[in-house]
């Protein structure tokens, strides 16, 4: 159980999935949002990007954090063949992304940054996800029905595609969905400043 007696928790995210997952921890929080630039240095190691972007999202709020506030920011990327798949630009881009994931194994990394005036902690969690082979009609059906344009790698594991395509996952389902709640819990449980 988490008791943040001295703090007010803020989720700095527009993602409805992160909101739902943090609620699942049974802790009260408010939401604050801002548009942040999600670019990263092109030479950066792909496994560092999610952590870097979660810190960058936190930086946008640093000036406004009050003494009793604890802020959570996060970022999720899909990595396939050492390439980052971000959010798809359009239907063709989404089709290309899912087709490249079909029949293979990729990784999902979610970085989280927890920030208060006295301390900042950044962590990331990596999960391996294997997809069965999907045919073109299945990929098109998913994109047309679920419109996954707000999702890294053009898919949501919590949606139809997760039911039919994912045949193996090594790591936390919730990390793939957008928030490693077990890591958030560990940090908040002991948050003392
Ligand atoms: C791989 C995968 C991603 N996603 C989502 C999680 C994230 O919301 C989104 C990746 O985009 P992000 O840039 O991580 O987050 P966001 O822009 O949605 O929200 P924020 O305001 O916090 O920056 O993709 C799923 O919902 N299911 C999945 O299986």
56 lines ligand 1 (CB under 6 A): no
191 lines ligand 1 (CB under 6 A): no
Instruction: Write down the pLDDT at residue 193.
Output: 64
Domains identified in the chain, total number: 1
Q: Is residue 166, in this structure, part of any structural domain at all? A: yes
Pocket test of ligand 1: the residue of 54, 152, 161 to mutate, having most ligand atoms within 8 Å of its CB, is: 152
Pocket test of ligand 1: the residue of 110, 150, 179, 180 to mutate, having most ligand atoms within 8 Å of its CB, is: 150
Question: Interior CA angle at 88 toward 82 and 93, to 5°?
Answer: 85
Q: What is the CATH number of the domain that holds 50?
A: 3.90.950.10
The C-alpha atoms of residue 169 and residue 128 are separated, in whole angstroms, by: 6
74 lines ligand 1 (CB under 6 A): yes
Q: Is residue 1, in this structure, part of any structural domain at all? A: no
Long-range pairs of 89-96 with CB within 8 A, sequence gap ≥ 24? 90/149, 91/143, 93/154, 94/143, 94/148, 94/149, 94/154, 95/139, 95/140, 95/143
The C-alpha atoms of residue 60 and residue 37 are separated, in whole angstroms, by: 10
Q: Is residue 3, in this structure, part of any structural domain at all? A: no
Complex confidence, ipTM = 0.84
- Going by pLDDT thresholds of 50, 70 and 90, the confidence category of residue 85 is very high
Is residue 45 among the annotated active site residues?
A: no
Tens digit of each residue's pLDDT (9 = 90 or more) over 123-132: 999 999 999 9
What domain range is 185 assigned to? Answer: 8-189
Q: Whose CA is nearest to atom 16 of ligand 1?
A: 15
Q: Is residue 2, in this structure, part of any structural domain at all? A: no
């Amino acid at each position: 159980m988490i008791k943040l007696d001295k703090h007010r928790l803020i989720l700095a995210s527009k993602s409805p999935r992160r909101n739902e997952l943090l609620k699942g921890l049974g802790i009260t929080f408010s939401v604050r949002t801002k548009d942040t630039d999600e670019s990263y240095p092109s030479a950066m190691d792909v496994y560092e990007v999610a952590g870097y972007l979660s810190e960058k999202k936190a930086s946008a709020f640093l000036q406004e954090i009050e003494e009793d506030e604890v802020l959570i920011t996060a970022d999720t990327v899909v990595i396939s063949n050492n390439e980052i798949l971000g959010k798809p630009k359009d239907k063709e881009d989404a089709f290309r992304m899912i087709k490249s994931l079909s029949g293979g194994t990729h990784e999902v990394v979610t970085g989280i940054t927890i920030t208060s005036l006295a301390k900042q902690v950044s962590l990331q969690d990596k999960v391996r996800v294997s997809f069965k082979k999907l045919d073109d009609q299945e990929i098109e059906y998913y994109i047309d029905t679920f419109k996954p344009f707000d999702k890294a790698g053009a898919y949501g594991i919590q949606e139809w595609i997760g039911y039919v395509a994912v045949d193996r996952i090594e790591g936390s389902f919730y990390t793939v969905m957008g928030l490693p709640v077990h890591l958030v819990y560990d940090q908040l449980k002991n948050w003392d400043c």
